[in-house]
Amino acid sequence: MKILTSSQMFSAEQAQVNRGMSFTRLMENAGSACAKEIRERFASLEQSRGLVCVLCGKGKNGGDGFVIARKLALAGFNVAVTEAFGEPTAEDSILMREKAVETGLVPEFFWGEDNARKSIESAAVIVDAVFGTGYKYREDERVSEVFEAVNASSAKVVSIDVPSGLESNTGDVPGRSVRADITIAVSCMKPVHVLKPACVLCGEIITVAIGIDDDVIDGIEGDTLAVLTPPQAKKLFPRRGLMANKGTFGRALSVCGSRNMQGAAVLAASSALRSGAGLVTAAFPDAAYNAIAPKLTEALLMPLPSNESGTFSSGAVPALLEQAEQSSAVLMGCGMGLNLHTKELVSELVRSCTKPMIIDADGINALAANIDILKNIKAPVILTPHPGEMSRLTGMSIADIERDRVNVARRFADEYGVALLLKGASTVIAGAGRRDAYINVTGNQGMAKGGSGDMLSGIILALLAQGVYPFDAAVLGAYIHGAAGDAAERELSLTSMLASDCIAALPRVTRNLER
């Protein structure tokens, strides 16, 4: 599903107008579609006569609000209209206000009449149609007071397109804003709906069509964002034919773990097995054999020479290079540790491997001092850094990365010719030369625990081994990873769930994808 910025959304509307639809009709369609959603969600209010307060701004978002108020009133709802800052100034919005008045609605002014504030205080539902996608933050005490009145109410809050006070193109929360229970995205989702922390204030996201043709949306120029929907995930997920054998689903090589971080090897290999790889070979330092072997009964074990630190020694390199060439895909880095031996191993594998590769954790840390090696890779590479690892790769501060994580990911992917999965509360997946970057919307804060990244890398490894295109494997892997976390949370709790619980939940996710 494509996500559009405010300027891209305006371009789409203009393109539809060029095909013969007026801006007035688009506003009517938007308000009507939003009113329909509100009627269906709050149908009981028609009988109970609970108040719906529609709070309108002076721009086009306010125009949508006047349409919503009119449609709800005509459907028998008890509706009050409050103008936050006076009568509308946009031409189409003026027309929609007039139509609302013709139905018997009498707009009240928030700053001029006690009844207006009482409507907000007593409402069962508040429709926030104050500011839309064109809003730019500015300090304004009057604006803050309106938002405080809405947030202080016990009403359910439905924001139209964007919770007022948030800028639609970012995940920032620049100041006070409306806190919505539901946000109805008009035509398309916007970046604010998927980027944290702002998306938390959007509540549940519902998208409504307003008559803009699909090919208009698909033809929007420039860089875009997207989210993977459940139907799209099903299309990407590998199918298992009746005549298949274990070789059909690929040979996955996991180069992970060390004496002090043996769990990383276990989690990565286990999640690869649970994600459909036909054969998984777990390569690890022999110093960790006794800890790892009993926990990986379905994987092929490849203990290799270790050094005094319990990590891979340089002597492991020849065997790993040989095994990598016999594999369909390679994962390297989880729990490997960081020293001269592991740095040499990472450099040799990156330089020589001709199979798709995921590099995570200490593999990324080992690359940081020799990052230009990525410019001469022989096969597709996926990097899966968290912000700290991304900071080491780029030299940027974590704060600067988090402030602009989408563009940071895009620039890095383009410069080094890789797919980059930047982990975090709003995981971003960017690919070299691609206009689209994906935001993963599955998962929860219960996954913010050790081992979660190892699990993610194992899932992506399995998808690569089964022949999924590398960028798609990163996008689908993030989706599956988060969905498994959501399944684990439903059964357990945010506090107590572990990475191993998420791996145990993978069959529930893959079953849904197979159907």
The full DSSP string for 323-368 is HHHTSSEEEE-TT---SHHHHHHHHHHHHH--S-EEE-THHHHHHG
Q: Are 204 and 183 in contact (CB under 8 A)?
A: yes
pLDDT band at 303 (very low <50, low <70, confident <90, very high): very high
Nearest to 48 by CA among 70, 77, 69: 77
CA angle 389, 393, 398 (to 5 degrees): 55
Q: What local confidence, expressed as pLDDT, does residue 20 receive?
A: 96
The pLDDT tens digits of the residues spanning 44-91 come to: 887 788 999 999 999 999 999 999 999 999 999 999 999 999 999 989
Distance (Å, rounded) from C-alpha 238 to C-alpha 249?
A: 9
The pLDDT tens digits of the residues spanning 211-224 come to: 999 999 999 988 99
Mean pLDDT across the chain:
95
Inform me whether the pLDDT recorded for 136 exceeds 90.
no
> Measured between alpha carbons, how far is residue 408 from residues 172, 329, 417 in Å?
16, 26, 14
Q: What local confidence, expressed as pLDDT, does residue 221 receive?
A: 85
The pLDDT tens digits of the residues spanning 20-50 come to: 999 999 999 999 999 999 999 999 887 788 9
Average pLDDT over residues 492-497: 97
Average pLDDT over residues 116-133: 92
Average pLDDT over residues 318-340: 97
Distance (Å, rounded) from C-alpha 25 to C-alpha 21?
A: 7
Q: What local confidence, expressed as pLDDT, does residue 498 receive?
A: 98
Maximum distance among all Cα pairs of the chain, rounded to whole angstroms: 84
Q: What local confidence, expressed as pLDDT, does residue 280 receive?
A: 99
Distance (Å, rounded) from C-alpha 72 to C-alpha 54?
A: 10
Q: What local confidence, expressed as pLDDT, does residue 394 receive?
A: 97
Inform me whether the pLDDT recorded for 2 exceeds 80.
yes
Q: What local confidence, expressed as pLDDT, does residue 113 receive?
A: 64
Q: What local confidence, expressed as pLDDT, does residue 216 receive?
A: 95
Q: Are 27 and 100 in contact (CB under 8 A)?
A: no
Q: What local confidence, expressed as pLDDT, does residue 114 receive?
A: 66
Spell out the alpha helix ranges (H) of 59-113.
60-74, 91-102
Q: What local confidence, expressed as pLDDT, does residue 49 receive?
A: 85
Phi-psi domain of 337 (left: phi exceeds 0; alpha: psi -120 through 50; beta: other): left
Q: Where are the domains of the chain?
A: 2-222, 249-514
Q: Are 211 and 29 in contact (CB under 8 A)?
A: yes
Give the length of the chain. 515
Peptide bond connecting 174 to the previous residue in cis, omega within 30 degrees of 0: no
**Adjacent-strand bridge partners of 54:** 81, 127
Fold of 2-222: Rossmann fold (3.40.50)
Q: What is the pTM assigned to this prediction?
A: 0.92
Q: What local confidence, expressed as pLDDT, does residue 288 receive?
A: 98
Burial of 219 (0-12, 13-18, 19+ CB in 10 A): exposed
Which helix H or strand E contains 32, and what residues bound it? helix 23-41
Fold of 249-514: UDP-N-acetylmuramoyl-L-alanine:D-glutamate ligase (3.40.1190)
Nearest to 498 by CA among 480, 484, 512: 484
Average pLDDT over residues 171-187: 94
Strand arrangement of the beta sheet that strand 279-285 belongs to: 2-3, 224-226, 436-439, 428-431, 419-422, 381-383, 357-359, 329-332, 251-255, 279-285, 300-304
Distance (Å, rounded) from C-alpha 171 to C-alpha 191?
A: 7
The pLDDT tens digits of the residues spanning 356-411 come to: 999 999 999 999 989 999 999 999 999 999 999 999 999 999 999 998 999 999 99
